[in-house]
Structure 1
Amino acid sequence: MSKARLEAFSDGVFAIILTLLVLELRVPEVANHSSFGQYAAAMAPLIPKVVSFILTFVMICIHWVSHQYFFSHIGRVTIGLVWLNNLLLLWLCFLPFPTAMLGDHPTDPFPILLYGVNSLLAALTFYALRRYASHAKLFKEENSKALGPRHSIPAIAIYALSILFAFVNVYLSLACFLVVPLLYFVPTIIQDHARF
């Protein structure tokens, strides 16, 4: 398989996942000519769903950007790389399910646990993808440390913590899910400012 076909297939799957996420947001039933307060009251139960949607949308986008950056430095594709990539897409495809559960039951331990396990499996698979590419010498550059598996470790650690916290304090577990995007965005913002 060519790298272009693998990237095109992956991009298509990412696009479908993002589309599936929004299907859980259903317009509430409100009578015609309702007041602002009535609309607000009807929308209030949707807040957990909207928050879980935004969180997962951002997480999928982070995976997509990282995936795009990773594959832009890949020089050749092997069957092992293809199947590790497919495994990553499997975990990401499943993510809309725990996202929907989290939106319906935002303070129940089980949906939080399931979301954490799903996210951890995706992070572990991306780690394996990076490690495989490094050991199989699939990168174009000789010095590929910036693309190595160590960059997946912080997210793996935080998702593992979220799973443990689900049995202790669900709010700590939810906080872990918010930390992961910060790990991505804060260094990116700092690097962008350093260039100017």
Structure 2
Amino acid sequence: MGKTRLEAFSDGVIAILITIMVLEMKVPHGGTLDTLLEVWPVFFSYILSFIYVGIYWNNHHHMLHTCHRVTGGILWANLHLLFWLSLIPFASGWVGENHFASAPAALYGLVLLMAAIAYFILQQQIIATQGPDSILKKAVGTDWKGKLSPITYATGIPLAFWYPLVSMALYVTMAMIWLIPDRRIEKVLRNHDA
């Protein structure tokens, strides 16, 4: 199977997730700036979640460029990733509406952890399918960000029950680290095509 349907389906799901997140934001009642201050946690959690979904979409796009054929294992691993990404709007809404309370902050971290694990599984499935000379395997290398992410989320989950704002700060830090463009896949693809 070619990868076109997989890419189109994934892009569609991710676009819907972003749309759902913005539609869940309720317009505050009142015409003063003070009314906006009341909803800042909701807006903040939306921005953070939008960034996370964008990071996954960007990296997913680059990762699929290294894939030449799609197997059933890749399809299921991709659905597994999309499942966890689909929970981001719910977790984002809960953490924002409850002003970063402990349980919502822990759930937010759990969703991020599971999405990171699902992404790793998809990555490994693609590497296994493409064989020992996999372009993705060459590009991934040591993948320090991929290893640091689950550790950070796993630390933030229990921490949320004592210091939820510190937990959220860990999630923000990880998003900022991932915002720095990772050119490994592009570099390997350029060298491979040359």
| Aligned equivalent of 2:107 | 114
Aligned counterpart in structure 2 of residue 176 of structure 1, from 170, 179, 182: 170
Partner Cα separation in structure 2 for residue 5 and residue 139 of structure 1 = 25
> In 2, distance between residues paired with 1:142 and 1:87?
23
**Aligned pairs, number:** 182
Matched, 1:4 2:40: no
Counterpart residue identity of residue 174, structure 2: V
Aligned positions of 1:15-164 closer than 5 A: 15-30=15-30, 39-137=32-130, 141=134, 144-147=137-140, 150=143, 151-164=145-158
Percent identical: 32
| Residues 149 and 111 of structure 1: CA distance in aligned 2, closer, same or farther (over 3 Å) | farther
Does the Cα contact within 8 Å between 1:75 and 1:140 map onto a contact in 2?
no
Deviation string 1:83-125 (CA, Å, 9 cap, x unpaired) is 1000100111111001001111123110001101011000000
Judge conservation of contact 2:67–2:130 (CA < 8 Å) in 1.
no
- CA 1:155–1:14 in structure 2 vs 1: closer, same or farther (change >3 Å)? same
The structural deviation recorded for 1:75 is: 1.1
Amino acid at match of 1:59: Y
Between the aligned partners of 1:4 and 1:142, the Cα distance in structure 2 is 18
Runs of at least 5 residues in structure 1 that lack an aligned partner in the other structure = 190-196
**Coordinate RMSD, CA, aligned:** 2.1
Letter in 2 for 1:25: M
Q: Distance in 2 between matches of 1:106 and 1:141?
A: 44
Q: Is the 8 A contact 1:126 1:152 kept in 2?
A: no
Q: Find the aligned partners of 1:53 and 1:143 in 2 and give their Cα distance.
A: 31
Rounded Cα–Cα distance in structure 2 between residues aligned with 1:100 and 1:172 = 19
TM-score, normalised via structure 1 length: 0.85
Indicate how the Cα distance of structure 1 residues 149 and 68 shifts in structure 2: closer, same or farther if over 3 A, else same. Answer: farther
TM-score (norm 2): 0.86
Computing the radius of gyration from Cα coordinates, the structure with the larger value is: 1
Deviation readout 1:115-170 (Å, 9 max, x if unpaired) = 01011000000011111222232698557332368452111111111112112311
| Structure ranking higher on relative contact order (CA contacts 8 Å, 6+ apart) | 2
